[in-house]
Amino acid sequence: MEAVKCLSGGASLEANAESVLRTITPSLDPTRHKGQAGKIAVIGGCREYTGAPYFAAISALKIGADLSHVFCTEGAATVIKSYSPELIVHPILEESYNISGVNDEGKRDISKKILSEFDKWMERFDCLVVGPGLGRDPFLLECVSKIMTRARQSNVPIVVDGDGLFLVTNSIELVSGYRLAVLTPNVNEYKRLVQKVLGCDVNDQNTHGELLSLSKQIGNVTILRKGKSDLISDGEKVQSVSIYGSTRRCGGQGDILSGSVAVFLFWARQCNSAAERESTISRTNPAVLGCIAGSALLRKAAALAFEHKKRSTLTTDIIEHLGQSLEAISLAS
């Protein structure tokens, strides 16, 4: 596939992102039934955050997933449900402030119950997004670590963003060596990751080499470093996506990206398994393809929304342009 031509080593090549997106997007076939285009679950939503998990989950649906779930705390659930009847929201997570009177044994029981409720669903999911609006409560993060471990045991891909990256940066073994994990750090999250994993500060003179080393050091986990150009690497090579984009930096765009990458990663896996063994696509890491397509789609939608709303553009405006952007990219060739 021409779309994924690139240089290995330190240099990077702009990915033919639109071609990647077109190649991995499944055809809409009347014989397919509900669920086959993707079942995504977002783990996030706590006392403080409800918008982020909603943005990630609704974006997955707008791109073409069939079902989108959110696992969050009870208080967050009521609000997230009320944003949209399209989502399935599970109020199962707990935060310390809510169980402050409970002793250690009680907490272990609560943790077990959370895990068993999640287990009932996990095998159905094609990809998890861990982190949007997750918060940093220690008890909650401990439960989410266990959820990630279970997902990994079942080979369910995991896209990690936001507070999920805080968790993973401090417990890198959660994703280390897992080829179906994707990290999508912004500038600050990337800085912490480099400090923790490589033990040094970010070196702007060696952007590509550093990203390659970081990915390799975490066992070839795919990293999407968000920026003016998005840089993507699984430790083998670095690719960039620079097309489109907007100069508006309103919060929430990273949540659209994580939900998008989840869907495209699943589609790339489907495509990968359907493709002939010798084709380029079967040799290309689906996590990398998912990042390239997700990055291109968000950048296109952000550009279109900005054309209409300028400085006033919000994340919901960008989400409203996901469908049109997908269509525009799909039709152009």
Annotated binding site: 133, 186-192, 226-230, 245-255
Q: By CB under 8 A, is residue 315 in contact with a second copy?
A: yes
By CB under 8 A, the residues from 146 to 185 that bind a second copy are none
User: How far apart are the C-alpha atoms of 268 and 276, rounded to whole Å?
Assistant: 13
Q: By CB under 8 A, is residue 219 in contact with a second copy?
A: no
Helices and strands, counts by H and E, the chain: 12, 10
CA distances 65 to 103, 114, 126, 257, Å, are 41, 25, 10, 14
Binding residue for a second copy, selected from 225, 248, 269, 299, defined by CB under 8 A: 248
Contact 45, 70 (CB under 8 A): yes
Residue numbering of the annotated binding site for ATP: 226-230, 245-254
How many CA atoms within 13 Å lie on the side-chain side of 17? Answer: 27
- Of 31-39, 101-109, 142-150, 174-182, which part binds a second copy (CB under 8 A)? 31-39
User: How far apart are the C-alpha atoms of 77 and 88, rounded to whole Å?
Assistant: 10
- Of 101-109, 160-168, 275-283, 321-329, which part binds a second copy (CB under 8 A)? 321-329
- Of 103-111, 173-181, 212-220, 246-254, which part binds a second copy (CB under 8 A)? 246-254
Q: By CB under 8 A, is residue 84 in contact with a second copy?
A: yes
Q: By CB under 8 A, is residue 82 in contact with a second copy?
A: yes
Q: By CB under 8 A, is residue 34 in contact with a second copy?
A: yes
Contact 63, 94 (CB under 8 A): no
Shortest spacing between CB 305 and a second copy, in angstroms: 11
Q: At what angle do helices 163-170 and 187-198 cross, to 10 degrees?
A: 10
- Of 137-145, 175-183, 193-201, 243-251, which part binds a second copy (CB under 8 A)? 243-251
